[in-house]
Structure formats: structure tokens, C-alpha cells
Structure 1
Amino acid sequence: MASTKKNIRELTLEQIIAIMEAAGEKKFRAKQVYEWIWKKGAHSFDDMKNISKKVIDLLDTEFFIDNIKISDQQKSNDETIKCAFTSFDNHITEGVLIPTTSRITACISSQVGCSLACKFCATGRLKLMRNLTAGEIYDQVLLLTRLSHEHYDQALSNIVFMGMGEPLLNYKNMLAGIEKITSEEGLGISPKRITVSTAGIAKMIKKMGDDEVKFNLALSLHAANDKKRSEIMEINDSNNLDALAESLIYFHQKTGSRITFEYIIFKDFNDTLADARELADFCKNVPVKINIIEYNPIDQGEFQQADKNKVDAFAEFLESLNLVVNVRRSRGKDIDAACGQLANKNGSIALKERVLK
């Protein structure tokens, strides 16, 4: 049983070398095993074709690989693909592959479920089951890369941690997963192509600054005054806008990176020019770009999509102040793959309902 074995992807190369040498094997054998795990993405020891049966048996007796697999997928009318990933212990997470004319983006998860309960997000209604491991984070990118080649004949151009969960509440595994995604011993993807999105945990944003991370940071802002933000995001009660501003300034000083503000625009809630002025004022703290995101309704949700003319006026006002603004039209809505809709709701797998609800 996997529960009696150790997860081999939690071992360093040096630890695997020690295990091989203790078994009377050469050092290079450990490097081959490590390459199979991370460079080639082996999901079974039997996949390691140039490894002897003796070593395979040793590995299979002592270890398991915490691999995930695609257990369901749906393709949207706009070619977006949503995947259900099943873990070795039968938990379900979701990821999305988003093609546009200029890029292929993989949206991946960091946790099974979420603990933050943001009012506009379907994922926030799920119970947090556990953190994803570094290997499971890596696997999502590996599997979506393969899917991108299969469906679009292209490699991934971008990776965003905007799926299920709060990445900064799984900080250690997130960093370890990104290290394997970006390193030459792994997938070799540039960290500048990776964006980690957070609901806003000030001390962990500072921690990223101290660690001088090379990937991009996005803050899910959605309102630039504390009263409104706390109304839709409980995390704001303990991480208010002043605390976030301080942490963002610190992060920028440490990394030199421009930050992305994500702003989901809701009808009659945060869509006025007064709201835009508050957002513009908050943008004075650090260099930013702003993604205004079309709201995607969820079941029993209390919000509605803002009127197009108000969205356009909102964006134009910000642009008049020389701010960098993009209006993001949602993709994959017909399969519940759009921003805020990942809730393991759709599809044919009954396990989804059992595990996460």
C-alpha cells in the first residue's frame, strides 16, 4: 500500500544516491532514476526502461510516486479544456488549458479545495482537504503540456496558479513544485512565464520578497476599500489594504517585479468610476498592471456580471491615468472552466461529488 511507502519525489538526488550506493549500485543509477522522475515525468517505476529489474523491485518495495492522472476532461466551444486530476489517494483537483491566438496558458491548482471562502468563487465553497505536493503541482504542468501538444501542437507559453486553493498557504510545496517546473533537471520552463495569484496574505508576500522569487505575483484585489473587500473576501479582515500595500512595496523593493492586480468587476458593487478612482489610488504604491476580469456567475451566487458599457468606462478611466489595463473576457464558461468556477461540479465522475462535497 502507498501509505506504508515513502514518496520518492520528496527525496533529493543526494538521498537517492545514498539509497542506491547502500544497495550496491553505482552513483549514476540514482541520477537515471532522478531523471525519470523529474525530466521524463515517469508515473511508475516500470516506466524506467533503462533501470534494472533489481533496482525497480527495490524502488517499488520502498517507495511510491505521488502521481496524478487526468480522470476526466471537457472541451469548451472556444477550445478551452478543463481537466479533472485524480491523485494517488483519490482526491480531485481541476486545471484548465486556455488557448488564444498568442499564447497557451495552463491554469493549475495548489490545494484540494480552499479555505478562504471568497463569496464570488465556487472553489471557496469546497472544504479544504489537503495541500497538493510539489510532485502533484509539477504533474499538472507536465500533463497539460502533453495535452497542449496533442490538441494545439504547441508548448505551453504561460502557467498561472489561479486554479483551486491559495498558493501562499501551501508555500513550501508551491516553491518546490516551481523549482522542478523551471529547473533544467525538470521541465526547464522560465519562471518569468509563471504567475502566482494570491488572495492577499501580507506576511507571505514579504516572504516571497525575502526569497527573491523570479516568478510573477498577482493579487486578487477586487475592491480597493476595506469595507467592500471584506464583504466579499474574509481574508481582508486579517490582511487589510494597508497591510497589503506595505507587503507589496517590500516585495517590489526586493524583486523589482511589477505586480498584477486582478479585479473582478461585479454589477452594482465595484463597477463605478468612484471604485475606479479608489483602485487608481491603490495603484500608486507599486508599479502594476491591472486585469479587469469579467465575472462568471456560479450556482446560488449573489453577484451578476457588470454591464459592458460600465466595464469599458471603468477601463477607460484607468487608462486615462496612464495605467496599464487589460479587460479579460472569460473563456470556458460553458464547461465551468472560467475564473472562479472550478468546483468539481461538471463531468461524469461521481467521485468528484463524494470527495469534495
Structure 2
Amino acid sequence: MEPVKKKDIRALTKGQLRDFFVSRGDKPFRGNQVYEWLWKKSVHSFEAMTNISLESRQQLSDNFVINHIKVDQMQRSSDGTIKNAVRLHDDLVVESVLIPTKTRTTACVSSQVGCSLDCRFCATARLKRMRNLNPDEIYDQVVAIDNESRLYFGRPLSNIVFMGMGEPLMNYNNVLKAIDLITSDEGLGMSPKRITVSTSGVPKMIRKMADDGVKFKLAVSLHSAIDEIRTSIMPFNATFTLTDLREALEYWYQKTKTRITYEYVVWDGINDTQKDVDALVNFCRFAPSKVNLIEYNPIDDGEFKQASNTAIDLYVDTLERNGIVVTVRRSRGKDIDAACGQLANKS
């Protein structure tokens, strides 16, 4: 006979854990204890659950496994940025990043192994989408970065951005479950206001987020407000057009009344003219918005080059003149594999 395949215990709810113990003649509160060990204390072995009897721990071990990530490779930049190659239980690899500043430490986490979208400037797009991450695998990335933040910077993690590998809205249910656990008092207890989910723009799912009344922040990876240009660098824009995206974002704002952030890279010869800036201003007009102009991390082939400072200044001056909040984000981790997907590609 083949051995029974053990179930990942972190796929169970607290109620299901309680039921497991009751079915074996034990007290239901044992399920509460196990749930606390799994999430609040983030243990990765049944042996570590020291307030549970040896017999109960053996029952857990006989029936379940705790699949968990491990940091396979860590790169530290001279600016303090830490990039992790995270190995999953099935040997696939994703990335997570710790970005420290004087006032905060931010975790950038992945939501998929690879990506189903095909943005031409992104290293992750070179990895086909292999699978979605489970809620516990997203959660584990945050725990690992929180531990690194405490170890290297002497303070807990303050913010989380879903800007790592994958399109979060293509793994919507698992991302929301992970955020529920991260923000729960029974998990990490972080405020949802300190979490930002960044999407390349999936209109149907942006509307669903608004209907679901999510409390976290929304960022949109835009990069051009002209359909032809955006489609040339982000081919899925031919399906999810800027008109569709804008209508979904208008719906988001009507429902949530929260400001929309646009992530925007300016490339030499691609989106660095006055026409490009004017299109962005017009796109932003329907709701309070903020534009983060992001310095580009090259992915080796040289097709995409960071625009000149003159072009960046043109964006900043025009946006500010039109009352749109704008920040310029300098690249972090330039001396390591900083571009999203680079380290995982090597792994």
C-alpha cells in the first residue's frame, strides 16, 4: 500500500483544527493552541509546540506536514537592501526584498512563481508562470523579512508591498487570505493601511477588490497612458486597455475614496516626451492620485534604458504644476540582482 499523503496543516482553518482534535477524543482548545503555534509563533515543526502533549504532537505528525519556505540565498546591498531567493517546499524559487530607510523597513513580496503577464522590461516575465503561491508561502516571506529587519536594523517590519514576482490579482484569493492572516491579531497584527498591492491592471479584479471592501492600498504599474506605447511594452494592454483600466479605477475610487498610486518608469526613447507626460496628467484627473517615478533596474539586454534627468524633471514639473503628487524613487540594491526576477532566474 502507498503511504497516505499528509495534508499541509496550514491549509486548515482554526475550526478544522478544533474538529481534528475532537474527532480523536481530545479537547477542541488544542486546535486553538496549534493555530497559535502555526501563525502567531510561525513554528515549522510539531516538536516546537511545547504546550501540547507528545501523543497529540505525534498525531499531528502522522497526519500533517508543515510546508514552509527557506531563504536559499541572501544578497545584501551596500545601501542596506536585502534580497532573498526563497525556496519553496517543491523546490521552486521566488524572491523577496527588504528595503530599509531611516523611518521604515518595507517587505516586497512575491505572489506567483513566474508570471502570466509578459511585460517586456521585467525579468520575471522571462519565467513562465509555474503556479500561484499559497497564503502560507506569502505569509512566510513576510515573517522571514520581519526577522531580518529585527536582526539587521533592530526594528520590526513596518510596511509590505506586493511588488515582487507575479501579478497579485491573478492570485486574488490566496493574496487576500495571506493579508487576512498578516493583519489578524492571531497572526502578525499589522495594519492593512501599511500594505500596498501593486497590479499591472486587471480591471475585473480591481472592481472585485472595491466590492470586497479591502482596506489595503492600491498601486497600478502604469508606465504609459498612451495605449499604443503601453501595449508595446506591456502586451496584455491590448486586452485590458487603458479605457477599461480607467473605468475600473473610477469605480474603485467611488467605492473606497482612497487615493490611487501609479508606479511609472520613464525610459529613454519610449515614454520620455511632453506628449507622454500630458497623457499621464489627463489619465490621473478623475481621482486624487500620486505618481511614483521609479528609476529602472536594467535586465542585461540593454533594450530599455533609464531616461535622462531632463525627462524626469519634465515629468515632475508638469505633474506638480497640475496638482498631482509626485515622488522620484531612486533604485535600491544596484550592486546586487535588484531587478525583480533576476535572482530567481539565476536560481
Q: Where has structure 1 moved over 2 Å in runs of 4 or more?
A: 340-343
Unaligned runs of 5+ in 1: 347-351, 353-357
For 1:344, the equivalent position in structure 2 comes to: 344
For 2:28, the equivalent position in structure 1 comes to: 27
Unaligned runs of 5+ in 2: none
Q: Percent identity?
A: 53
For 1:157, the equivalent position in structure 2 comes to: 158
Residue 126 of structure 1: CA displacement? 0.6
- Report matched runs for 1:1-357 at 5 Å: 4-338=5-339, 340-346=340-346, 352=347
Q: 1:115-167, CA deviations, whole angstroms, 9 ceiling, x for partnerless residues?
A: 11200000111111110000000000011000100000011111000000000
Residue 337 of structure 1: CA displacement? 2.0
TM-score (norm 2): 0.97
TM-score (norm 1): 0.94
How far apart, in 2, do the equivalents of 1:80 and 1:313 lie?
Answer: 29
How far apart, in 2, do the equivalents of 1:2 and 1:183 lie?
Answer: 36
Residue 2 of structure 1: CA displacement? 10
How far apart, in 2, do the equivalents of 1:34 and 1:95 lie?
Answer: 25
Residue 313 of structure 1: CA displacement? 2.0
Residue 309 of structure 1: CA displacement? 2.0
Residue 78 of structure 1: CA displacement? 0.7
Relative to structure 1, is the Cα distance of residues 125 and 345 closer, same or farther in structure 2, using a 3 angstrom cutoff? closer
Relative to structure 1, is the Cα distance of residues 301 and 170 closer, same or farther in structure 2, using a 3 angstrom cutoff? farther
- State the AA in 2 paired with 1:204: M
Aligned length: 346
How far apart, in 2, do the equivalents of 1:249 and 1:79 lie?
Answer: 38
Secondary structure at 1:82's aligned position in 2? strand
CA RMSD across the alignment: 1.4
- State the AA in 2 paired with 1:344: A
For 1:349, the equivalent position in structure 2 comes to: none
Secondary structure at 1:146's aligned position in 2? helix
Q: Which segment drifts farther, 186-195 or 314-323?
A: 314-323
Q: Which segment drifts farther, 214-223 or 247-256?
A: 247-256
Q: 1:213-270, CA deviations, whole angstroms, 9 ceiling, x for partnerless residues?
A: 0000100000001000000002211110110011001111112211100111101111
- State the AA in 1 paired with 2:344: N
Secondary structure at 1:267's aligned position in 2? coil
Secondary structure at 1:18's aligned position in 2? helix
Q: Work out whether residues 104 and 156 of structure 1, in 8 Å CA contact, stay in contact via their aligned partners in 2.
A: yes
How far apart, in 2, do the equivalents of 1:295 and 1:187 lie?
Answer: 32
